[in-house]
Amino acid sequence: MTKYSIFSLVRNALSYHENWQKAWRSPDPKPEYDVVIVGGGGHGLATAYYLAKECGITNVAVIEKGWLGGGNTGRNTTIVRSNYLWDESAALYDHSVKLWETMSQDLNYNVMFSQRGLLHLAHNVHDMQEIGRRGHAIYLNGIDSEFLSPNQVKELVPFINLECRYPVMGALLQRRGGTARHDAVAWGYARACDAMGVDIIQNCEVTGFEIDQGTVKAVETSRGRIGAKKVGVVTAGHSSVMAEMAGFRMPLESFPLQAFVSEPLKPVIDVVVMSNAIHAYISQSDKGELVIGGSGDPYVSYSQRGSFDQIEHVAGPVVELYPIFSRVRMMRQWGGITDVTVDRSPIITKTPVENLYFNCGWGTGGFKATPGSGHVFAHSIAKSEMHDIAAPFSMDRFYTGALIDEAAAAAVAH
Ligand SMILES: Cc1cc2nc3c(=O)[nH]c(=O)nc-3n(C[C@H](O)[C@H](O)[C@H](O)COP(=O)(O)OP(=O)(O)OC[C@H]3O[C@@H](n4cnc5c(N)ncnc54)[C@H](O)[C@@H]3O)c2cc1C
């Protein structure tokens, strides 16, 4: 694999950039693999990467029904943070933030991770109590968090309207939070996986599982049967569909979640601002677009489209808080299918079928967890035993009642 560097850039410039090596191959599926990963989003690709890199398992295929990153990985608003309430979540999300910090170097691919800081605004007494409780819990877990007064918020976002219909009473700041380039994450992992011998098979839909005496033996696909000693399913909004194919139920509901980008502007806002009470959050991409998201749609659906009521629901509060954006034109709007659990925490788990593992339930907030999720899932699959960080997120918690309730930290969407 060509190492990306200033030297390879210059070398390829001499041949008018016509000889760059393909970032990954498109092989035909082999009859059998040690591990088949279903789903070529960030989490699936990260799992394959860590299987190959850290667990020495390179006879791996990633099977994707569409194109890499075409699911939620390429549709999200790219916010990365680890300011979650419970110890289990703090361990998982901060493990991830630490991996983000070296990801571009590890993958030799610029994922444009930008730790520009992330604010959670508080607009009422309840919000103040929530950020107070969460801020202290985060601090006790050794994760950076600071309380800001309204004036300190104004220093970071000078044009914010503190005295509007949604008065700003304070904020929680995580300076290590920020954003990354979403599809670069999928492409960077795919390229690194391919270099280690992992087969990436796009346009191949998994349509069923071959299960013999309670053990998975193969996946049935639109390109035929592919044998597998172990299977990891990482299909986000379609996870309950996959579970049904395997003969059990996954405690998930799938909701559309929408986002928007504006026309490109000159640099105007250099932090990410989230606002739980008013269901709107905003950041600015490196291209200059305002990236804006809100809450999930209030009905279950497999639609990946935008809708007018959500534009109104999100744009109203944004204009109220940031009047300078009132004449900015919106350029694109889209939706993704989020897989939501009752406690708003993910499921990383063994299943009733031997050697079949699921990683899902990330809902509206899994992009930030991409490297950490892939890392702990890979180790769990390789050792046939859940990684310590993943263990509390087993699907058993819905029987035992040991839920990890992150409805508040999961923030705007719920
Ligand atoms: C609008 C929006 C905004 C969001 N904003 C944020 C944010 O700011 N921060 C954050 O942390 N998270 C955010 N999220 C959530 C985040 O995008 C997801 O949790 C995360 O990207 C999930 O990654 P994944 O790899 O598990 O899923 P995906 O990227 O969806 O990948 C799953 C893949 O499985 C494939 N697949 C499905 N069924 C099959 C099958 N039968 N056979 C083969 N392949 C199959 C799909 O085609 C898809 O490519 C947002 C989500 C949306 C929709």
Give dist(CA 69, CA 339) in Å, integer: 16
Give dist(CA 375, CA 50) in Å, integer: 6
- Of 367, 373, 375, the one to substitute when testing ligand 1's pocket (max ligand atoms within 8 A of C-beta) is 367
- CB of 368 shorter than 6 A to ligand 1: yes
Residue nearest to atom 41 of ligand 1 (CA): 206
Locate the DSSP E strands across 139-288. Answer: 146-148, 170-174, 178-179, 199-201, 206-212, 215-221, 224-233, 253-264, 272-275, 280-284
Joined tokens for residue 304: 């990946």
**Residue 221 CA: which ligand 1 atom is closest?**
42
- CB of 232 shorter than 6 A to ligand 1: no
Pair 341, 347: CB distance under 8 Å: yes
Q: What is the pLDDT of residue 278?
A: 83
Ramachandran sector of residue 158 (left: φ over 0; alpha: ψ -120 to 50; beta: rest): alpha
**Residues, the chain:** 414
- CB of 41 shorter than 6 A to ligand 1: yes
**Considering only CA atoms, which of 171, 179, 174 is closest in space to residue 155?**
171
Q: Is 207 helix (H, G, I), strand (E, B) or coil?
A: strand
Q: How far apart are the CA of 237 and the centre of ligand 1, in A?
A: 7
Q: What is the pLDDT of residue 254?
A: 95
Q: Compute how many other C-beta atoms are within 10 angstroms of the C-beta atom of residue 318.
A: 23
Q: What is the pLDDT of residue 251?
A: 95
Q: What is the DSSP string of 303-346?
A: -----HHHHHHHHHHHHHH-GGGTTPPEEEEEEEEEEE-TTS--
Pair 355, 218: CB distance under 8 Å: no
Alpha helices in 170-263 (DSSP H): 182-195, 239-246
Per-residue burial over 118-135, b if 16 or more Cβ lie within 10 Å, else e, is bbbbbbeeebbebbeebb
Joined tokens for residue 192: 């690194």
pLDDT tens-place values along the chain, 414 residues long: 889 999 999 999 999 999 999 999 999 999 999 999 999 999 999 999 999 999 999 999 999 999 999 999 999 999 999 999 999 999 999 999 999 999 999 999 999 999 999 999 999 999 999 999 999 999 999 999 999 999 999 999 999 999 999 999 999 999 999 999 999 999 999 999 999 999 999 999 999 999 999 999 999 999 999 999 999 999 999 999 999 999 999 999 999 999 999 999 999 999 999 998 888 899 999 999 999 998 888 889 998 888 888 888 899 999 999 999 999 999 999 999 999 999 999 999 999 999 999 999 999 999 999 999 999 999 999 999 999 999 999 999 999 999 999 987 765 444
- DSSP conformational letter for 2: P
Give dist(CA 368, CA 93) in Å, integer: 7
- CB of 206 shorter than 6 A to ligand 1: yes
Which position has the token pair 């920020």?
Answer: 178
Q: Is 348 helix (H, G, I), strand (E, B) or coil?
A: strand
Q: What is the pLDDT of residue 295?
A: 84
Helix or strand holding residue 150 (H, E): helix 150-156
Q: How far apart are the CA of 152 and the centre of ligand 1, in A?
A: 35
- DSSP conformational letter for 110: -
Q: How far apart are the CA of 155 and the centre of ligand 1, in A?
A: 35
Question: How far, CA to CA in Å, does 376 sit from each of 115, 167, 411?
Answer: 23, 41, 24
